[in-house]
């Protein structure tokens, strides 16, 4: 399955370019603006690309699962409010330098 709700992006399920929300291609949406996934997590796709902690490698072989203490580039996942719906999925990888700051990149806080 491409998205946690099904194969097609649909309307008003995420914030991306032409995803059917009022924030599409304008700005980030407030947290919790869309239905959560089966684990109760909100906004896992779209809105802002999320930094991951592993080192980016051009060829994905699954070894990116380990967090890197330092890397020249890190993967971003999940799509953003100003990108096409085809990129709004967890499997889509994009890379960025650690010092890159802009309004399409964010991170997720986790708590045990």
pLDDT digits over 30-39, tens only? 989 999 999 9
What fold characterizes domain 1-112?
A: 3.90.1580
Per-residue model confidence (pLDDT) at position 43:
87
User: Nearest 5 degrees, angle CA 96-CA 15-CA 35?
Assistant: 120
pLDDT digits over 48-87, tens only? 999 998 889 888 776 666 889 899 999 999 999 999 999 9
Domain boundaries of the chain, sorted by first residue: 1-112
Distance, in Å, from the CA atom of 37 to the CA atom of 105, rounded to the nearest integer, reads 21
The confidence band for 46, taking pLDDT boundaries of 50, 70 and 90, is: very high
Per-residue model confidence (pLDDT) at position 66:
82
Q: pTM value? A: 0.84
User: How much is the mean pLDDT over the chain?
Assistant: 90
Per-residue model confidence (pLDDT) at position 78:
93
């Amino acid at each position: 399955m491409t998205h946690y709700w099904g194969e097609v992006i649909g309307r008003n399920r995420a914030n991306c370019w032409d995803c059917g929300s009022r924030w599409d291609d304008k700005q980030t949406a407030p947290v919790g603006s869309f239905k959560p996934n089966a684990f109760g997590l909100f906004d896992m796709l779209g809105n802002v690309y999320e930094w991951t902690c592993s080192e980016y490698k051009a060829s994905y072989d699954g070894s990116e699962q380990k967090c890197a203490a330092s890397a020249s580039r890190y993967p971003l996942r999940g799509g953003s409010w100003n990108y096409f719906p085809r990129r709004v999925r967890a499997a889509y990888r994009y890379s960025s330098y650690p010092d890159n700051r802009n309004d399409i990149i964010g991170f997720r806080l986790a708590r045990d």
